[in-house]
A = this chain, B = another copy of it.
């Protein structure tokens, strides 16, 4: 039986790297493609991580530009505002770009449509979802319906991490052989390597690895100064 083709929305972070290896495990390496968006991230290190990991995983990697978010607003991930571990007046973190995942997934679906890819994979999770409503399961289910109607194309959106906490995500990554790649993932909100260890993203990552009883390969690499 021919396996489906899969497209992984891939930032080069811990979660989407886990998703990439999950997709390789499920669909077979020859059927998986990684897709990154160059949307004006504050830190170019993210796209470098993505490129490196896609090479390591031996899957094709496409980088697609989106110049729209920066035009719409300045915010902590694309602009010059300091990242703080606080929420804005709307109760959402100040890293919130309204609709970012809706846009990413819709563009990914447009590429899937053209390339006759039937399965999309995204690393969104509502467990540790940090206040982003576009990471929730009901949002993703609704978007899948909208895309099916709007493109007349049924694409299945997989969210393998949706109900996992960070500890469980680390365990999953270990099980499916993503640990070598994990050394090259980027997580730090401050764009640092070695990671700052103090921003909310670093702290959440550290907590997950500790709870899973696994050493973080990124820190091993940082300590080895490689």
Query: Which residues of chain A have a CB within 8 Å of any CB of chain B?
Result: 64-68, 71-73, 92, 97-99, 101-103, 106-107, 109-111, 113-114, 133-134, 136, 138-139, 142-143, 145-147, 149-153
Contacts and interface: CB of A to CB of B under 8 A. Distances in A.
Contacts of A114: 72-73, 98
Nearest to A148: B142
Contacts of A102: 106, 146-147, 150-151
Contact of A142 (B65, B71, B133, B146): B146
Given A67-B67, A72-B107, A142-B142, 8 more contacts: A64-B72, A98-B109, A98-B151, A99-B106, A103-B107, A133-B150, A139-B146, A142-B149
Contacts of A66: 66-68
19 contacts: A66-B67, A67-B68, A68-B107, A72-B107, A72-B114, A73-B114, A98-B109, A98-B110, A99-B113, A99-B151, A102-B106, A102-B146, A133-B151, A142-B145, A142-B146, A142-B149, A142-B150, A143-B150, A146-B146
